[in-house]
Structure 1
Amino acid sequence: MPASHLNQLIAALPLQRGASEPLFRQLYAAIKAAVLDGRMSPGMQLPPTRDFCRLLAVSRQTVLNAYALLTAEGYLDGAVGRGTFVSREVPLPVPPAAVPGLLRPLSARGQGVVTAMRQVAFHRGPLRAFRVGMPRIDHFPFDVWNRLEARRWRRPDHQFGYGDPAGYLQLRELLCVYLKASRGVQCTPQQIVITSGSQQALFLLSTILLAPGDAAWMESPGYRGASGPLRAAGACVFPVPVDAQGLDVAYGVAHCPQAKLAYVTPSHQMPLGVSMSLPRRLALLAWAAHNKAWLVEDDYDSEYRYSGAPLASLQSLDRAGCVVYVGTLSKVLFPGLRLGYMVAPPALAEALVQAKAVMDRHTAIVPQMALADFIAEGHFGRHIRRTRDSNAERRDLLVRGLAHELGDQLACGPADSGLELCAYFRGGHDEEAVSRAGLARGIELRPLGHYADPAAGPECATPPGLLLGFAAIPPAEMAHGLQELGRILRGR
């Protein structure tokens, strides 16, 4: 390369003066990039450091430091009295078009993982009516939580090293007591595995309990965040219809008896809100025991039941060791905490612990410690009672508002538990069109069709309607949302 061209190349090297990164690091990175992309070819002699300083208006020490780094990493060769050269060991760059398979495809498994959650709707933008799956965050005692975490940070000990993949033992002991008292779950701390949210629990279970091609029952309509991990594991997801008694077990047995796993939300079905009847629960347990299948019980919001005593868990009826109970603390505390748990049958617990260790070694320890203290000092129970009362007030507000403002347009589904309720259209509305109109007016309206499996037959069809969240929605925002929804449904 002619000296004039080389000087022009050096003078054009990008340096940002005044930036936080030192100039010698910037110069090092710029020369390295020029070598790797072929602008400075192997064997090319670089100008003396004094000339380099003049071309870039930098100090000689800046150039010397950059040269030293580049020489140590093998990009430059040099000796006193001989000059500095681009190393001949650096291979010439190959044009991208000549590299076969440069855009390497994902594996079939990788593609399955990537596409599995594409149909799941994620929250975006500020909170607004009628966002689903969202607890009331402003009710959480963050001042108490901050104090508990700060206390742990002030007194670090050996537990701040690598921990048990199963989770912080004191937290598992406290959850064991809580689950037995509140949900009738029968377990020991050794059966509990703390996870980074219930989503990780569902992925772990799908991965280790199913082989590619195994069939798995999935409620339809149902929680798309659960069908995603099943599909990512290569399972053949078989949609099973839901009616007023919950999952139609007889339909699943008749059409897919060979399934290895069934995912259910028996206490509060997502999204229809129905509870699985006792005969259905017993039939499901009998099928699983007879076929040596697994049942994944997702008890995602059982803390929030507003009428009658809480329903006992499916796990409490299990006598064959086939139910894995999955819970989340996102709906009780706050979603950003990302803490969940599994209660596994004794024969499965150790395998889940080892699988958890493969995935992320263990869930962050300080939040687990803070939660253990939060439970032990009574804050957890008080928070649940306070939040349950608040949710009930907002649920009543929504139910009354729907009856008063939209009784001629919508019919409410079950509203005795959870953070949202479903409302069915009385007229012939297109739920997708209504949802789009809602977004245009600043409200979120989740179509019930969003929860239907695209591969499901007419047996799984659900009357068109909407899922409306209420727990996190302030009264004024809820009133505004009802007004806008009324205008949409009446074509105004």
Structure 2
Amino acid sequence: MAGNNQGPLVVSLPLGAPQPGESLQRWLYTALREAILSSRLPSGSQLPSTRALAEHYGMARGTAQAAYQQLQSEGYLDTSNGYGTRVCAVLPDTTLNAGYVRRRVMPVAEQQRDAPDTPWAQRLQAEKPIFMGSATQPGLRPFFPHRGDVLAFPIDLWRKLHTAHLRSSRLLDMLDADPAGLPALRSAIAQYLGIARGVRVGAERIVILGSVQQALDLTLRLLVAPGETVWMEDPGYPGARQLMKASGVAMVDVPVDREGLQVEEGIRLAPAACMAYVTPSHQAPLGGELSPARRLGLLRWAGEQGSYIFEDDYDSEYRFVAKPIPALRSMAGADASVILAGTFSKLLFPSLRLAYVVLPPQLVEGFTRLVSLTARHANSLSQAVLADFIEQGHFDRHLRRMRKLYAARAETFAEAAERNWQGLIEVPPIRAGLDVVCRLHGMDELDAQARLAEAGIDVMPLQRYCVKPQAPGLVMGFAPYEETAIEQAAKDAARLLRRT
């Protein structure tokens, strides 16, 4: 039966080698038939001409023609549609063919094998990444946290800058780049950090990566041997916690309060830890800042112990009540011990996958070698576009615009909560960020999450961020949702949570 399905054009068709004593015609017929029945050649696929196939396999053209003709006569190939030789849309004897496929001897490479059982694999099996799977793709369903509004991004401007780097005169820019990143982007970031975060650093101390998660991964590889101790905030960012578990380090959970990481408690629990992971400018997920006294105490501890501090500059750009506070890395005495990491994926759009790390001088060479060995370099075309975006002032304008937009949505969220959630959910003052920890009254977190999901509302239970139990709470985002959506979702949430 002739098919109208327009499948792919098959340019290269590796078919293996004939068995000893097997004729080329029989081999070609059998190999093509098996490729069709196994859907390796899907319906509508256009096969190479008999001349091209014969030249490729070093056989007479008549041999290829005979194999094609046999397959055509049996209903596997079609030449009647005027578009060359194609695989038929409907194959003959589908029941028999299915049995034929089942009876095939499975190649060694396709045979079932057990999952790997290395230490890394075992730890990964025990820790499903928190943002892996369908739960990471809720679209624009309120109130999923840790998301910005990609619809507000100036995509036409970005496209214009991107197109400028695809001119034929700039094709050499598309070759491999420096593992540390494009000099133009590193210089632009250095200038930005000096103005916005109070960090005075040369471009040579900055390395461009794909994410803060990658920065933490490489830092752990470079500085912490399996079994050595690292401080982790509790509650804290689950992606960092899961990466530490998978890396095999000995994690010490240091409690967090309204002044941030309890440094003295960390010293009591593990005074000789190799490293501390902190989110000092906007604690993840509670949202506070590390107090000045604790900042000094943390730096003093790192200096005395020869330890390192990994500063995740989490959501620091989005403060609504005051200017962004300086980074921990900007303080006196931080140069030798603080590793500052930040991302552009939240500030611009998630699929950009560009971040940076500011390194102490003694770590630059080793870190750059590690990047080169594990990832070569981050996408250099995107780096070039981002450098232009920053240098031409678009980045700063975009941040100011989004800060104002998110502040308005935070206010809308708080007002909607006040109107609808009395006695159900308590929303604290929102000072910064893309989301907020809301306290539940008289309700289990997982039960509340399940009820809200019925109404198309996505939240994250606070227990996903904690080791030591906390008062029941939900991490709820507001940044990507328009005011009407926030108000409607708040009403729906109240209806579901009040249901007995």
Please state which band the TM-score falls in when normalised by the shorter chain: 0.7 to 0.9
Give the 3 Å change call, closer, same or farther, for CA 353–404 of structure 1 in structure 2. Answer: same
1:367 aligns with 2:378: no
8 Å CA contact 1:135–1:332 kept in 2: the answer is yes
Bigger shift: residues 242-251 or 119-128: 119-128
Pairing partner for 1:118 from 119, 129, 133: 129
8 Å CA contact 2:278–2:311 kept in 1: the answer is yes
Instruction: State the AA in 2 paired with 1:277.
Output: S
1:184 aligns with 2:198: yes
Residue 297 of structure 1 and its aligned partner are, at CA, apart by: 0.5
Give the 3 Å change call, closer, same or farther, for CA 350–204 of structure 1 in structure 2. Answer: same
1:162 aligns with 2:163: no
8 Å CA contact 2:180–2:377 kept in 1: the answer is yes
**Cross-structure match for 2:140:** 127
8 Å CA contact 1:185–1:313 kept in 2: the answer is yes
Give the 3 Å change call, closer, same or farther, for CA 283–478 of structure 1 in structure 2. Answer: same
Mapped to 1, the partners of 2:183 and 2:25 lie a distance apart of 64
8 Å CA contact 2:180–2:206 kept in 1: the answer is yes
Give the 3 Å change call, closer, same or farther, for CA 327–49 of structure 1 in structure 2. Answer: closer
Residue 331 of structure 1 and its aligned partner are, at CA, apart by: 1.6
**TM score, norm. by length of structure 2:** 0.80
Pairing partner for 1:105 from 90, 96, 116: 116
Secondary structure, counterpart of 2:204 in structure 1: helix
**Cross-structure match for 1:20:** 8
Bigger shift: residues 257-266 or 321-330: 257-266
Mapped to 1, the partners of 2:398 and 2:210 lie a distance apart of 21
Correspondences of 1:419-438 after superposition (within 5 Å) = 419-425=434-440, 427-438=441-452
Give the 3 Å change call, closer, same or farther, for CA 48–151 of structure 1 in structure 2. Answer: closer
1:137 aligns with 2:150: yes
**Cross-structure match for 1:398:** 413
**Cross-structure match for 2:391:** 376
Aligned-residue Cα RMSD (Å) equals 3.2
8 Å CA contact 1:273–1:414 kept in 2: the answer is no
Alignment length (residue pairs)? 437
8 Å CA contact 1:247–1:264 kept in 2: the answer is yes
Give the 3 Å change call, closer, same or farther, for CA 49–158 of structure 1 in structure 2. Answer: closer
Pairing partner for 1:308 from 302, 315, 322: 322
Residue 252 of structure 1 and its aligned partner are, at CA, apart by: 1.4
Q: Deviations for 1:33-76, whole angstroms, at most 9, x for unmatched residues?
A: xx7xxxx85444565799999x99xxxx966865765679xxxx
Instruction: State the AA in 2 paired with 1:413.
Output: P
Give the 3 Å change call, closer, same or farther, for CA 165–414 of structure 1 in structure 2. Answer: farther
Give the 3 Å change call, closer, same or farther, for CA 485–18 of structure 1 in structure 2. Answer: closer
Instruction: State the AA in 2 paired with 1:231.
Output: K
Q: Deviations for 1:304-346, whole angstroms, at most 9, x for unmatched residues?
A: 0001222111111251511100001112111111110000111
Give the 3 Å change call, closer, same or farther, for CA 71–270 of structure 1 in structure 2. Answer: same
Give the 3 Å change call, closer, same or farther, for CA 370–256 of structure 1 in structure 2. Answer: same
Secondary structure, counterpart of 2:456 in structure 1: coil
**Structure 1 unaligned residues grouped into runs of 5+:** 1-14, 73-92
8 Å CA contact 1:274–1:414 kept in 2: the answer is no
Q: Deviations for 1:283-322, whole angstroms, at most 9, x for unmatched residues?
A: 1111111111111110121110001222111111251511
Give the 3 Å change call, closer, same or farther, for CA 365–100 of structure 1 in structure 2. Answer: closer
**Structure 2 unaligned residues grouped into runs of 5+:** 35-47, 60-103
1:275 aligns with 2:289: yes
Mapped to 2, the partners of 1:138 and 1:358 lie a distance apart of 36
Mapped to 2, the partners of 1:158 and 1:100 lie a distance apart of 44
Mapped to 1, the partners of 2:419 and 2:5 lie a distance apart of 65
Bigger shift: residues 187-196 or 399-408: 399-408
Give the 3 Å change call, closer, same or farther, for CA 49–344 of structure 1 in structure 2. Answer: closer
Aligned-pair identity (%): 34
Give the 3 Å change call, closer, same or farther, for CA 50–364 of structure 1 in structure 2. Answer: closer
Mapped to 1, the partners of 2:107 and 2:369 lie a distance apart of 42
Give the 3 Å change call, closer, same or farther, for CA 461–147 of structure 1 in structure 2. Answer: same
Give the 3 Å change call, closer, same or farther, for CA 104–50 of structure 1 in structure 2. Answer: closer
Secondary structure, counterpart of 2:136 in structure 1: coil
Instruction: State the AA in 2 paired with 1:20.
Output: P
Residue 120 of structure 1 and its aligned partner are, at CA, apart by: 4.0
Mapped to 1, the partners of 2:254 and 2:30 lie a distance apart of 72
Residue 405 of structure 1 and its aligned partner are, at CA, apart by: 1.4
8 Å CA contact 2:284–2:314 kept in 1: the answer is no
**Cross-structure match for 1:461:** 469
